[in-house]
A and B are shown apart, each in its own frame.
Chain A
Amino acid sequence: MKTQVLIIGGGATGTGLARDLALRGIHCILAEKRDINAGASGGNQGLLHSGARYIASDPSAAVECQREGRLLKKLAAHCIEDTGGLFVAVAGDDENYIAEFPHRCAKYGIPAHVMDIKDALEIEPALSDQIIAVFRVEDATIDPFRLSLANIAHAQQLGARLLRFTQTVDFKIVNGKIRSVLLLDRRSGKKISIEPEIVVNASGAWAGEVAALAGVHIPMRYSKGSMLVTNTRITQQVVNRLRCPANGDILAPGGTVSIIGTTSERVESPDLYCPEIHEVDLIIEQVAAMLPILASTQYIRSFSGVRALVGAEDMSDDRNVSRGFTLIDHSHESEQIENFVTITGGKLTTYRLMAEKTGDLVCKHLGITQPCKTHIEPLPQTADSKWTKPGLAPRLWIQKKNPKDQLLCECQMVPQSAIDSITSSICTQNGTPSLNAIGLRSRVGKGSCQGMFCSLRISSYLYDRKEFSDTQGLQNLCEFLSERWRGLHSLQWDLPLIKFELMEALHCGLFGLELTCTGRRENLS
């Protein structure tokens, strides 16, 4: 198979790059080892930073965030909730930092308006009465799944190809040039050879591993960040701690819930982490200083993402490493591969800029002069991406009032028609529907039953629709419940523990899935 550009990695950057190139009329294939946003692009708080958070530690990243944030609010409004944000200091926080904050923001043109504490408490009653300073900023939230799904869908409309569950396993390099790339379809076991003119390694935290396949060394470190999802929405706005970035600083609303985080812990590899219990306790303790209700509220899920940090390997605090991105042209590096580019690091907020800069470099290599269009062309809303939005499925369902269109997920009110739409879009993305793939593209499993009932209704529905055959349903249940559990195991006290007992009684006690699924791979979709 031939293509102009092979993109490795289907996160925000890879999917954004696919669209960027497609808009320039360049053919590309995107190969993703797992599914869209399987890495840090899916494991974050969904913050569209105003830049204020990095104003002291990394002003240039701050300015980038501010510019990109404003642009995305215009061009990808359907993925964004323009919540606004607050920076809040509590008694005992560093007073110098607080005093310098507005001046620093002003210096770099990042709006930050001081607020009366009484007014802040009126707008956000969940705030602690111990707060000593509040500033209003332009933070917003963004649905990263919606964003990446919309990007790849648009790219596909323009001719790009997506290969999900397709792992890059080898590069054939002759005379300092990649001639072909060997890909493995992890579901069929088939190998595919691609002959690209240029390869872009957009594999995020896995960039070092992918580069190593080409014999290139990228010094990488991995920093895990963990987050918790509350059962209800705690505030209307993003709430940041007004201090030098540390653990447990931010609450970001996301539809009907809030996401609090994060931590920063050095880990050995980018693969598969879930939140540890001490991280959960630390986050709750820290964020509760700003929002006391978080000490007693219900949590429904936790998750982790691994940040890719490129650079000197001896730095002690990972938070000091720039959150800016790294674009490497390997034709200039010591290994000298003339058609290999790596883009990694960065933030969700700057994904578009990262794609633009990478696209420019790719064009330079290909000798193409088409300019980038993603800063002027609005991101189209596509059917593939809309179902992640809370409240959408129920609204459409109620509007249509079709008695035959039954709800399969009762907590989040996802009906059969929505599952049909999602499964058909998975099929057009060269995939086979799985419960995890549906979960990624919808609210399924994210409600209060945590997937214990809807997984059963949906798997039986998928058999009825002949999407599943043989024992696929069992395998899917095991994988889906295992994936949900990764986000639940650190939250097992109070109500989640009660629900867990029911889930285990049903899926182990009655169905015996632990006997059926022993030895199955739990993370392949």
Chain B
Amino acid sequence: MKREYLDITCDLMIIGAGMTGMAAAFFAATRGIDTVQVGMTSELDFSSGLLDLMAVHPIKEGRLWENPWKAIDALVRDCPRHPYALLDRNEMNTALSDFLLLLKQGGLPYHRESDRNVMVITPVGTLKPTYAVPVTVQNGIRALQEKAGCAIIDFQGLRGFSGLQIVETLKSDWPDLHTYRVTFPNSTGELYPEHMANRLELPEARAQLAEAIRPHINRADYVGLPAILGIYETKTVFNDLQERLRRPLFEIPTMPPSITGLRLKNIFVRQLPLSGVRTFFHHKVLKASYIAKKGFRFEVGPQKTKFVVHAKGAVLASGRFFGRGLCADRKRITETVFGLPVYQPADRAHWHRKSFLIPEGHPINQSGLETDDQFRPLGTDGRPAFSNLFAAGSILAHQDWKRMKCGSGLAITTAYGAVNAFERLCC
């Protein structure tokens, strides 16, 4: 009988291609683990490109922490089931350093202050506490700290980004913040950040843009722009425009899809295959089965099975509902790949609170997979469901990354922890 699919054998299967899956694939590749990665990359389109570690605890009080490590200490003390409790500071720091190094080597350098959160301006004029930012965002942090003379440039035709909105919202604390609207070179009508970023990779477009901006920045020490300064050649675009304007520049991430997120995604999609990971993006695991003493067998394809992957072990980084790692009907929440037990409130009436912006967050956000101290998700008997299955990222229970501001940190450090555990237990 003719088989309609290819067999692939590997040591480690990574399920998921969001921030966690990408980080896990990176860590596995750097350890020389023979790795296959399967997943949809579309969730990364919604990334802001800002990497949070930990900033708010307790969320009910909305308390902001300047030092993310102290915030983590307090969190782990108060919420010992949070996934951060499975890692020590050294491991977490190594994970972050390795990850940022990989980004830098891929051409996307980040800036962080080792034990301090920074505040980044958002398009609605709020200040977001985060940990590591693309270097193109860095000058904005300084401008904000100094409350320096600063010009925000926005564009006729770019929806959802209003310099006036940012200035009006921040003006009581930052009187020297101003805004100017310019016309993007050779454009009429609708503008999209991706098109603008592509255009600016051409030197003549940058020269024209600098001409358009220059008359407005005489009194400004800094110039802020929506994140449009190139996608692939960001460093060149950024430095060139900065020289032309003779002012420190910074980008403000736009509403998603933001270029700062697309750049991250591009790095992963380009670099991972180069570092030896066999990636099957836009594919998903259609069926997973456990074969005693051999490991897992995964049927993989976009819709119908195209490959069968045999792996010694797996890292489940399939995300929550948006990533399709969890799904819910009117009665209960289930895990989509292995059917693992999901820690969850008793019934749907207890999933959400009636106020959307309630500080303590919605109970459903704390649902997810519970694991042992080796990141192995637990079965119904409270013991690891499989000896060789590890879970990482937002699918883990007992965290609320959106309110704690710990999303990327959780993704990167638990990916690191899960890959380490795999290496320890399965290699």
Q: Which residues of A contact B189 (CB under 8 A)?
A: 403-404, 406
Q: A460-B159, A477-B124 in contact; A514/B255 too (CB < 8 A)?
A: no
**Which residue in A278, A473, A505 is a CB contact (below 8 Å) of B165?**
A473
Interface pair B162/A463, CB less than 8 Å apart: yes
Encode contact with A along B296-313: 1 for CB under 8 Å, 0 otherwise. Answer: 000000000000000000
A182 within 8 A of B: no
* CB <8 Å contact, B162 and A453: no
A293 to chain B, nearest CB (A): 15
Say whether A504 contacts B159, CB under 8 Å.
no
Interface contact A514-B359, CB-CB below 8 Å: yes
**Is the pair B329, A518 in contact by a Cβ cutoff of 8 Å?**
no
Which residues, 439 to 486 on A, are CB-close (under 8 Å) to B? 453, 456-457, 459-461, 463-464, 466, 468-474, 477-478, 481-482, 484-486
Whether B357 contacts A517 by the Cβ 8 Å rule is: yes
B321 interface contact, C-beta 8 A:
yes
Question: Contact between B356 and A485 (Cβ–Cβ < 8 Å)?
Answer: yes
Which of A70-78, A316-324, A491-499 is the interface stretch?
Answer: A491-499
Q: Can you list 11 A-B pairs with a CB-CB distance of less than 8 A?
A: A277-B348, A404-B188, A464-B162, A464-B164, A466-B164, A473-B168, A500-B321, A500-B352, A501-B321, A504-B365, A506-B255
Residues in B with CB closer than 8 Å to A489 are 352-354, 356
Chain A residue, CB-CB nearest to B347: A277
Given A460-B159, A474-B124, A513-B126, 5 additional A-B pairs, CB 8 A? A468-B165, A471-B125, A508-B403, A509-B405, A512-B405
B366 at the interface (CB under 8 A from A): no
Indicate if the CB atoms of A508 and B357 lie closer than 8 Å. Answer: yes
| Contact indicator B124/A522 (Cβ below 8 Å) | no
- B352 touching A481, Cβ below 8 Å: no
Q: Which of B38-54 contact A (CB under 8 A)?
A: 46, 48, 50
| Chain B 328-360 per-residue mask, 1 if CB under 8 angstroms from chain A, else 0 | 111000000000000000001101111111110
Q: Whose C-beta in chain A lies nearest to the C-beta of B353?
A: A489
The interface size bin for chain B is 35 or more
Within 8 A of B (CB), among A236-287: 274, 276-278, 281, 284
Q: Are B128 and A511 in contact (CB under 8 A)?
A: yes
Whether B126 lies near A493 (C-beta < 8 A) is: no
From B56, B169, B352, contact of A515 by CB (8 A): B56
Residues of A within 8 A of B164 (CB): 463-464, 466
Given contacts A403-B190, A478-B357, A481-B356, contact A408 B124 (CB under 8 A): no
Contact with A along B352-392 (1 / 0, CB 8 A): 11111111011011000000000000000000000000000
- Compute how far the CA of A461 lies from the CA of B56 in the bound complex, rounded to whole angstroms: 31
Measured CB to CB, the closest approach of chain A to B276, in angstroms, equals 31
Task: Return B96 CB to nearest CB of chain A, in Å.
Answer: 19
Give B321 Cβ to nearest chain A Cβ, in Å: 5
User: Which one of A274, A470, A485, A508 has the greatest number of beta carbons of chain B within 10 Å?
Assistant: A508
Give the interface SS of chain B, mostly helix, strand, loop or mixed: loop
- Contact partner, B126, options A274, A463, A474, A522, Cβ 8 Å: A474
Give Cα A463–Cα B159 distance, bound, in whole angstroms: 12
* Complex alpha-carbon distance, A512 and B407, angstroms: 13
- B256, B357, B365, most chain A CB atoms within 10 A: B357
- Is A510 in contact with chain B by the CB < 8 A criterion? yes
Cβ of B203 under 8 Å from chain A = no
Residues of the B chain whose Cβ atoms lie less than 8 Å from the Cβ of A485: 354-356
B residues neighboring A (CB under 8 Å): 46, 48, 50, 56, 62, 64, 122-129, 157, 159-162, 164-165, 168-169, 171-172, 181, 188-190, 253, 255-256, 320-322, 324, 327-330, 348-349, 351-359, 361-362, 364-365, 401-403, 405, 407
Residues of A within 8 Å of B172, CB to CB, are 470
Nearest residue (CB) in A for B161 is: A460
Q: Are A506 and B46 in contact (CB under 8 A)?
A: yes
* Least Cβ–Cβ distance between B294 and chain A, in angstroms: 34
A518: which B residues are within 8 A, CB to CB? 62, 357, 359
Q: Which residues of A contact B (CB under 8 A)?
A: 274, 276-278, 281, 284, 403-404, 406, 408, 453, 456-457, 459-461, 463-464, 466, 468-474, 477-478, 481-482, 484-486, 489, 492-494, 497-498, 500-502, 504-518, 522
Query: How close is A450's CB to chain B, nearest CB, in angstroms?
Result: 11
Residue of chain A at shortest CB distance from B401 = A509
> Are A511 and B126 interface neighbours, CB within 8 A?
yes
Complex Cα distance A337/B171, Å?
A: 53
Known: A459-B124, A469-B168, A508-B402. A522 touches B159 (CB 8 A): no
Q: A505-B46, A511-B124, A514-B357 are in contact. Are A468 and B168 (CB under 8 A)?
A: yes
Q: With A and B bound together, what is the CA distance between A508 and B124 in angstroms? A: 12
Q: Considering the complex, give the chain B residue whose CB is closest to the CB of A478.
A: B357
A88 to B46, CA, bound (A): 46
For B329, list chain A residues within 8 Å (CB). 493-494
Are A511 and B402 in contact, with the CB atoms below 8 A? no
Task: Note all chain A residues with C-beta closer than 8 A to B351.
Answer: 492
Residues in chain B near residue A510, CB distance under 8 A: 48, 50, 122, 128, 253
CB neighbours (8 Å) of A463 from chain B are 162, 164-165, 168
CB pair A493–B320 under 8 Å, yes or no, is no
State in angstroms the CA–CA spacing of A464 and B154 once bound together. Answer: 10
Residue of A nearest to B159 (CB): A457
B48: which A residues are within 8 A, CB to CB?
A: 510
Closest residue of B by beta carbon distance from A281: B330
Q: How far is the CA of A220 from the CA of B349 in the complex (A)?
A: 30
Interface centre among A459, A501, A522 (most CB of B within 10 A): A501
Closest CB in chain B relative to A191 CB, distance in Å: 28
CB-CB nearest in chain A for B63 = A515
Residues of B within 8 A of A504 (CB): 356, 362, 365, 402
Taken together as a complex, chains A and B put the C-alpha atoms of A489 and B358 apart, in Å, by: 13
Complex: how many Å from CA A306 to CA B342? 38
CB distance from A228 to the nearest CB of B (A): 12
Which of A460, A472, A497 is within 8 Å of B160, CB to CB? A460
Chain A residue with Cβ nearest B156:
A404
Q: How far is the CB of A14 from chain B (nearest CB, A)?
A: 28
B171 partner residues in chain A, CB cutoff 8 A:
470
* CB-defined contacts of A505 to chain B, threshold 8 Å: 46, 322, 402, 407
Q: Which of B46, B123, B162, B354 has the most CB of A within 10 A?
A: B162
A493-B330 in contact (CB<8A): yes
Other-chain contact of A481, B127, B168, B357 (Cβ < 8 Å):
B357
- Assembled-state Cα–Cα distance A469/B125 (Å): 12
B125 near A474 (CB under 8 angstroms)?
A: yes
With CB as the reference atom, state the residue of chain B lying closest to A510. Answer: B48
Instruction: With A473-B169, A481-B356 as known contacts, state yes or no: A514 contacts B62, CB within 8 Å.
Output: yes
Contact A456 B355 (CB under 8 A): no
Closest to B127 in A: A512
Chain A residues near B256: list those with CB within 8 A.
506
Q: Which residues of A contact B125 (CB under 8 A)?
A: 471, 473-474
Q: Are A509 and B407 in contact (CB under 8 A)?
A: yes
Q: Which partner residue on chain B sits nearest A408 by CB separation?
A: B159
Q: A492-B351, A508-B402 are known contacts. Are A470 and B169 too (CB-CB below 8 A)?
A: yes
Which residues of the partner chain B approach A474 to less than 8 Å between Cβ atoms? 124-126, 169
